[in-house]
Structure 1
Amino acid sequence: MNTAPDLNLPTATAATDPTKAAATPRIKLSSHGFSIDHPDPELGEQLLANALGVADRDAMHGILRQLVKASVNGPKPDEVNLAFMISMVKSIRPRDSIEAMLVAQMVSVHLMAMRCAYHLANAEDIGQQDSAGRALGRLARTFPAQIDALNRYRSHGEPAITVQNVSVGDGGKAIVGNVTQHASVIVSDKGPVSAAPAARMAAKRKAQA
């Protein structure tokens, strides 16, 4: 008999986990709040936790409440906006709570930027145009900064290491040019050159001295 996954376990489960392949449940909004639309409440919570990249029920409800509030269209939250935001979070695949919070901010900033773009397109006077344009500009600059922050966090903030001076013994090989190493990848702007000719030349000078 199949049992629902434990919400206290990390979400980094194997790809064969059936909850990973299942569709993310939708959220129903009401005057009293929201609910997860799934026939099995516990499994529905696990599927949503997986989509949001969080490890437990409290974190899932916290992120979800924030997305609900950010989805507001006019005076109340919007189910279409919310479904879009959850889908975007799922597609980015946050892997822990830090990424979950950052990705939730990213989709919220995108939604607000598009809202500002709408207001800019429908501005009725210069004041509205300037206000919407400034807000859109700030949000548009924030979004790529968030992408950069997510990329840095996922790479553990490893800086590139440039090696310019290399000592090579007899019979070895040297790489001529700058070598940049990042995330265990070495890239050279030129190919390898044998160190043997240089070693023979040094030996010849020593014999002539």
Structure 2
Amino acid sequence: MTTAPDPAMTTAIAASDPAQAAAAPRVKFSSHGFCIDHPDPLLGEQLMANALGAVDRDAMEGILRQLVKASVSGGSPDQVNLSFMLSMVKSLRPRDSVEAMLVAQMVSVHVMAMRCAHHLAHAKDLAQHDSAARALGRLTRTFPAQIEALNRYRSHGEPAITVQNVKVEDGGNAIVGNVTQHANVIVSDKTPASTTRKAPKTAGSRRGRASAHAERDAQA
């Protein structure tokens, strides 16, 4: 069964029950594992797929299973952790498989970082303190790198560069207006304005012209 994100179905759900469409899908744990907690199993799967950015049922179940494992606390999956992670994934709105995997990693890294911060605060000796501090440092450096990767992927790898201060020397050209640069393309909202300046007249050139005038006067 295909459970790819369906904007039309999401719109229909929002029209019939806005609160249901706004809430992140929930997962219920049992002795046999876990399942999507929804009165309509098919609709529950569709909502979960939409939230995770999954392209089909296999992708949805795979990412969900990975998030369940990442939510483990004290040796077993944690309902509060998982609900938080699902809510964060939905708020980031992954749009395809790449974004779905990256966003799942991001929320997992955040949860692990907070877990390391807890261990650091409760370290009982220097070894525990150093171990937790190193792990926390690595995770907190990874998280902004993941944010940058997601932004670059969503902008097709062409980050915008805004130039604010430009100095133009004599003989140079400047573009008047806002400039946005993407890879090999520069776009301006106004036409180029030349700032080429004429070189100042030197004393030698003035003396040359004066001598020429004097010579013509003498011949006359």
TM-score (normalised: structure 2): 0.72
1:32 to partner: Cα distance? 1.5
Q: Report the equivalent of 2:117.
A: 117
Query: In structure 1, what residue type is equivalent to 2:133?
Result: G
Q: Report the equivalent of 1:94.
A: 94
Q: Report the equivalent of 1:41.
A: 41
1:55 to partner: Cα distance? 1.8
Query: In structure 1, what residue type is equivalent to 2:61?
Result: H
5+ residue gaps, structure 1, are 1-6, 165-173, 202-209
1:176 to partner: Cα distance? 4.9
Is 1:55 the equivalent of 2:49?
A: no
- Whether the aligned pair in 2 keeps the contact of 1:181 and 1:187 (CA below 8 Å) is no
Cα shift readout 1:145-185 (whole Å, capped 9, x = no counterpart): 00011011101112558999xxxxxxxxx725994423998
Q: Report the equivalent of 1:156.
A: 156
- Whether the aligned pair in 2 keeps the contact of 1:12 and 1:95 (CA below 8 Å) is no
Give the Cα separation in 1 of the matches to 2:93 and 2:33: 26
- 1:179–1:16 distance in 2 versus 1, CA, 3 Å: same
Query: In structure 2, what residue type is equivalent to 1:46?
Result: Q
Q: Report the equivalent of 1:171.
A: none
Is 1:103 the equivalent of 2:97?
A: no
**Aligned-partner SS, 1:17:** helix
* Structure possessing the higher radius of gyration over alpha carbons: 2
Q: Report the equivalent of 1:144.
A: 144
Give the Cα separation in 1 of the matches to 2:97 and 2:140: 24
- Whether the aligned pair in 1 keeps the contact of 2:52 and 2:89 (CA below 8 Å) is yes
Query: In structure 2, what residue type is equivalent to 1:127?
Result: A
The alignment yields a C-alpha RMSD, in angstroms, of: 3.3
1:25 to partner: Cα distance? 2.7
How many residue pairs get matched?
182
- 1:178–1:42 distance in 2 versus 1, CA, 3 Å: closer
Query: In structure 2, what residue type is equivalent to 1:71?
Result: S
Give the Cα separation in 1 of the matches to 2:92 and 2:162: 31
Give the Cα separation in 1 of the matches to 2:77 and 2:100: 21
Query: In structure 1, what residue type is equivalent to 2:65?
Result: R
1:30 to partner: Cα distance? 1.8
TM alignment of 1:1-209, pairs within 5 A:
8=2, 10-11=4-5, 13-14=7-8, 17-19=11-13, 21=18, 22=21, 23-158=23-158, 175-176=175-176, 179-182=179-182, 186=187, 194=193
Give the Cα separation in 2 of the matches to 1:112 and 1:62: 20
The percentage of aligned residue pairs carrying the same residue is 70
The structure in which a higher percent of residues are helix is: 2
- Whether the aligned pair in 2 keeps the contact of 1:51 and 1:89 (CA below 8 Å) is yes
- Whether the aligned pair in 2 keeps the contact of 1:106 and 1:146 (CA below 8 Å) is yes
Q: Which moved more, 1:67-76 or 1:30-39?
A: 30-39
1:14 to partner: Cα distance? 4.9
